[in-house]
Structure formats: structure tokens, C-alpha cells
Amino acid sequence: MAAFKPGFTSEFNEFEAPDAGHQKNAKTARLVESARLALTSLALCSSIIILGTSGDTLSVFNTTHFRNNSILSLWPAKFDLRPTVALVVCSAIVVAASALSVAASKISAVRNKPLVHSSISFLAPTVCLIAGLVGTSFFYGVNSSNSVSSLQSWSCQWSSVNMDVKPHWSTLCKESKVALYLTVMLIPLEVIILGTVAFGAFVEKKQVVYHERKGSPAMS
């Protein structure tokens, strides 16, 4: 009886250890997917705020800017709107890509197709990362100029002036800064999301290898 027990334990461990490893990998895959979904949702919420704030500043400029070179114009003659327009366009792209990624994780018809789901999971943060880089590059490229003002630099220059009507310089300055800072934040956030996608793919590959070994005649 004493000689049989060690043999039984060894045989038991031989068949139980792989199952335990498979369960651990499956749990890790679920945690990674949950983290990716949470971070993507954060990127989606941030991009909505960027779109709202930068869109509002652009709207205020369009309603208060006189195009007939009036001497009462509130805005300078040399003015560059590209940073603000870039933030609006890039944030709209991030909203669309992030929403698609979240929807793909929630729709079972897409989630049950690993190739489609993994492709969307990888492409969405890649597009968002590029959009974030483009948005910030426009701002810092224009902001480095000493001769041309941007919407943020001009509004922040006059932010101490209290106004009862549009444009409210202080509000425009704050909205511009929020949009810019969130866009900058999107860059490392999307890098982290890409990292979770890569790690999730690694875990899934381990699961596939496990299933192949388990079903192999050499292992039976």
C-alpha cells in the first residue's frame, strides 16, 4: 500500500498539472482582456472630452472672428487654427476606433471570431496612438513659433481679462489645455493598451499549444 501511494500521486499530478496550467492561462487571459477593455473605455471617455472641449473652442472662434479685418477684431491677423482642428479630427478618430474596439469585445458574433477580434483589438489602439501623436505634433510645432499665435496661446495670453460675453478667454484657455493634456495622456495609454493586446495574444498562443499537445497522439 505504501509503495502504491507515491505512484498514484505521481500519476495524479501528471494529469492534473496541465489542467491547472490551462485554468491559470484562461484566468490570465480573462484578466488581460478585462484590463484592455477598461483602458480602451478610458481612452474613449477621454477622447469624447477632447472632442467636446476642442470643438467648443473652435466653435467660439468661428462665432467671434470677424473675417472682414475689422479694427475691433478679437483675434490677431496671423492666426493658426491647425492645432485645434487637429485635436478635433484626431479625437473624433479615437472616439470611433475606441468605440469599435469596445463594441467588438461586447458583440458575441465578433468575439467568437478570434482573427477578427484580435485584428480589431490591435488596429484600434494603433490608429489611436497615431492620432494622438499627430494631434500633439501639430500643437507643439505651431506653439514653438513666436510670430504666429494658436487658439490656446492667444486665449491664455488674455485669460486674466474678465468678459461677460464670448469669447471667455479664461474658459477657452482651460478648455484648450484640457484637450491638449488629455491628448498627450492618450499616447502612453494607447501604448499600454497595445501591450495588453500583445500579452493577451501570448497567453492565447500558450493555450493553443496546450490544446495541441493534449490532443496529440504522442501525448495520449
How does pLDDT run across 62-80, given as a tens digit for each residue?
A: 888 776 555 557 888 788 8
Q: In the chain, what is the greatest distance between 2 CA atoms, to the nearest angstrom? A: 104
Highest mean pLDDT among 7-11, 46-50, 206-210: 46-50
Per-residue pLDDT, averaged over 199-208, amounts to 75
- Cell numbers given for 58: 473652435
Amino acid at 140: Y
CA distances from 188 to 78, 161, 214 (A): 33, 35, 39
What's the rounded Cα separation, in Å, for the pair 88 and 73? Answer: 24
What's the rounded Cα separation, in Å, for the pair 3 and 9? Answer: 11
Per-residue pLDDT, averaged over 114-121, amounts to 88
Nearest alpha carbon to residue 46 among 131, 169, 137: 131
**What is the Cα gyration radius of the chain?**
27
Highest mean pLDDT among 1-15, 59-73, 199-213: 59-73
Amino acid at 194: L
CB 128 within 8 A of CB 46: no
- The β-bridge partners of 149 are 79
How does pLDDT run across 149-188, given as a tens digit for each residue?
A: 889 889 999 988 888 888 899 999 999 999 999 999 999 9
What's the rounded Cα separation, in Å, for the pair 37 and 66? Answer: 45
Helix ranges (H only) for the chain are 4-64, 82-106, 108-111, 114-143, 151-157, 169-215
- Cell numbers given for 26: 484562461
- Cell numbers given for 210: 496546450
Close Cβ partners of 170 (under 8 Å, ≥ 6 residues apart): 159, 160, 162
What's the rounded Cα separation, in Å, for the pair 150 and 164? Answer: 23
How does pLDDT run across 21-39, given as a tens digit for each residue?
A: 567 767 887 898 899 999 9
Supply the pLDDT for residue 173.
94
Close Cβ partners of 140 (under 8 Å, ≥ 6 residues apart): none
Residues constituting the chain: 220
End-to-end CA distance of the chain: 27
Q: What is this structure's pTM?
A: 0.81
